[in-house]
Amino acid sequence: MPKKDDTYTVTLQKAHIEWGTHRHTNTRELIYGEGYIQIPSEYATKFNIYMSNKKGANIEYKCTSSDGTLTDVTLKASGSQGQDNLYAKQFQGSGNLKTIGSWYSKIKAKVGDKIKVTFTSSTSIYVEKL
């Protein structure tokens, strides 16, 4: 489980900002406005950030953003990576895949921008554009 003050920084790529439209498959219709925050494999394993395949793992995190747009919004650790596909690869809105996309739009995020994720507890994160 993550600990208070664990942190990582990611560089935004097009797929993070345009998740619903920048796709390499046609498994579903294009959906504008979706986005996610990447969890690099190194940090998923270091901080034990699991997805739902890990029995008993916490997959929901309360998220607050530095600009105030997100306040105790529930994000879900999802996607899979790692040897047993147990580690999460992204944070996404729980029940609303546009949660992060809307935040990216509000802060005018673009490819190459840096997003810092800081754990304020084992189940909450603070996000900011650097």
Q: What is the pLDDT of residues 25-42, one digit of tens each?
A: 666 676 677 899 999 999
* In a domain? residue 13: yes
* In a domain? residue 1: no
* In a domain? residue 15: yes
* In a domain? residue 116: yes
* In a domain? residue 2: no
* In a domain? residue 11: yes
Mean pLDDT, residues 75-100:
87
pLDDT of residue 49: 95
CA dihedral 85→21→25→43, nearest 10 degrees, is: -20
Task: Please give the DSSP secondary-structure letter assigned to residue 86.
Answer: -
What is the DSSP annotation of 10-53? EE--HHHHSTTTS-SS-SS---TT---EE--HHHHHHTT-B-TT
* In a domain? residue 34: yes
| Residues of the domain holding 28 | 7-129
- Give the CA distances from residue 118 to residues 7, 27, 61, in Å, rounded to whole numbers and listed in that order: 4, 33, 12
Q: For residue 28, how many other CB atoms are within 10 A of its CB?
A: 8
Residue 121 parent element (H or E)? strand 114-121
For residue 55, pLDDT beyond 70 = yes
In total, how many domains does the chain have? 1
CATH of the domain at 48: 2.40.330.10
pLDDT of residue 86: 87
* In a domain? residue 115: yes
